[in-house]
Amino acid sequence: MRELGRRSEAASHPFKSELPVAHRRAVVPQQPDHAPLALVGKVGRREEVVAACTGARALGIHVGMAATHARALVSDLDFRPAEPLADAALLDRLALLAVRRWSPIAAVTPSDGLWIDLAGCDHLHGGEESFCRRLRAFCRRAGFTARVAVADTPGAAYALARFGPSACSRAAPGQTAQALAALPVAALRLAPAALVAARKFGFERIADLLPVARGPLARRLGLAAITRLDQALGAVAEPIAPREDAVVPRVERRLLEPIGTAEAIEQVMADLLGDLALVLQAQGLGARSLRLTGLRVDGGEQVVAIGTSRPTREVPHLLRLFKLRIERIDPGLGLEQFVLVAPHTEPLDAVDLGAVLAGETRVRDCARLVDVIAGRIGARSVFRIAPVESHVPERAVTRSDPNDLPGSWPLWQRPVRLFARPEPLSHVLALLPDQPPRRFEWRGRSHTVVAGDGPERIHGEWWRRDAEVWAVRDYYRVEDAGGGRYWVFRRGDGFEEDTGDLSWWIHGVFA
């Protein structure tokens, strides 16, 4: 009884009242859904435990233990062969999902993690902390146990995720060294020989390496260990090679000899477009944008891109658009490799030839003309004016896709050219309240009105802002002695001061 009384744990009193049911449920440990599991793989010439679950580690099984020792220690443990190729395929699928959903730069971290670059896109997920919570929730739903870390460098994130104090760690910007100081030396991804040397010289934590000079430290641990330390601290760059999305249609040509003439580049463009058209046809897609990259002999890149107003895979039309960009390509000493990518595609169905032969498709498609003009003067310079439901003239029109048919226009007479902003008139002579102006000056020239029509009264849209509650405009169509026809208006009705200041403005020009 004396031996039993020396237990260090605090025992509950035998007459203590029982906890409520809700509290008892909270303190009962959750039983695992599966038996303790360990994965066995061949390392060198012997079989070792390469992974173990929490239950197996509680029974004394650890990574690196010989398989025979583990089986002798726990006879009923669930041992399964490790499948590194299947694990690599799963990580690759997760990296592809990360590229499509979270960040354009994501890669696999050998051999059990992912790198995700959040620079410039963390605000899209509600910040770094919110993204970490969402990522852990996603992994939990998928059946994975994940540890997430955010840091300034990939090496620091690797160390905090695997050796950090919590399952969700975050190193403040500029505080990487302080966050890594308490971690073991193994967090730096050192080679086994470097870890043995670190234990030999008494280096247990990363904080022990920071005050040591680089020269003596390199002689003790090796130059590779210094590189890993500098990569974790940000002194040496460690770029992430992102996982490429293979779903994007892509074709490539490698040339036997470099080319530099416009005719040769045009021929390569035609060949690449022919190959890409077959890929798009097999997938039932049409290209909306294409990007051609030419690699020069000196290592430089020449990139040209085109866009289309509608999805298409017609080689002659796309080649015509690319010809407009050949003069922008600087071949230098020669181009030896070309890559054509379609980053933006849309579904493209087959054309109903029966309807075409029957004459049912009478509306001509202007997409080709729009693409050619946009290729010369810019995509933003080609647009169509569409009506908008508003009485205010500058709000009654908007720019739309040139391929879309506009809606029905109102019957009100409007000028051919409507100014984006009305321009003021000076030295206006008019008889209030309803007569058009008899004389005005605009852009330094005097105009004498010989005919006029109006007024057309337009009230302000009171639901937009308070200043338009009582606003009034009286529009007139006037013609001067030189034959010019203008659309002018006066602010105010000529009676109430709240309706306007009686200033005159010109808003458009008739044909």
Give the pLDDT of residue 23.
Answer: 37
Give the containing element (helix H, strand E) for 177: helix 176-180
Answer whether residue 7 shows pLDDT above 50.
Answer: no
Please list the helix, strand and coil fractions of the chain in percent, rounded to the nearest 5, in that order: 35, 30, 40
pLDDT in tens, 419-441: 888 999 999 999 888 899 999 99
Answer whether residue 20 shows pLDDT above 60.
Answer: no
Sequence-separated (6 or more) residues with CB below 8 Å from residue 338: 252, 253, 255, 268, 269, 272, 292, 293, 294, 295
Give the pLDDT of residue 365.
Answer: 64
Beta bridge partners of 201: none
Average pLDDT over residues 48-52: 89
Pairing verdict, β 168-170 and 106-109? unpaired
Give the pLDDT of residue 360.
Answer: 56
Give the pLDDT of residue 346.
Answer: 87
Give the pLDDT of residue 34.
Answer: 61
| Percent of the chain scoring above 70 in pLDDT | 90
Find, among 134, 128, 72, the residue nearest to 101 by Cα: 134
Average pLDDT over residues 281-298: 91
The lowest-confidence range among 367-381, 448-462, 489-503 is 367-381
Label residue 339 by pLDDT band (50, 70, 90): very high
Which position has the higher pLDDT, 466 or 269?
Answer: 269
The lowest-confidence range among 24-33, 164-173, 331-340, 341-350 is 24-33
Cα end-to-end span (Å), the chain: 112
Distance in angstroms (rounded) separating the CA atoms of residues 191 and 224: 8
Distance in angstroms (rounded) separating the CA atoms of residues 297 and 255: 11
Q: Is 510 exposed, middle or buried (0-12, 13-18, 19+ CB in 10 A)?
A: middle
| Percent of the chain scoring above 90 in pLDDT | 32
Distance in angstroms (rounded) separating the CA atoms of residues 487 and 453: 10
Question: Tokens representing 202?
Answer: 């008494």
Which position has the higher pLDDT, 358 or 321?
Answer: 321
Give the pLDDT of residue 338.
Answer: 95
Answer whether residue 401 shows pLDDT above 90.
Answer: no
Label residue 463 by pLDDT band (50, 70, 90): confident
Label residue 120 by pLDDT band (50, 70, 90): confident
The lowest-confidence range among 5-14, 32-41, 163-172, 194-203 is 5-14
Answer whether residue 386 shows pLDDT above 50.
Answer: yes
Distance in angstroms (rounded) separating the CA atoms of residues 47 and 68: 8
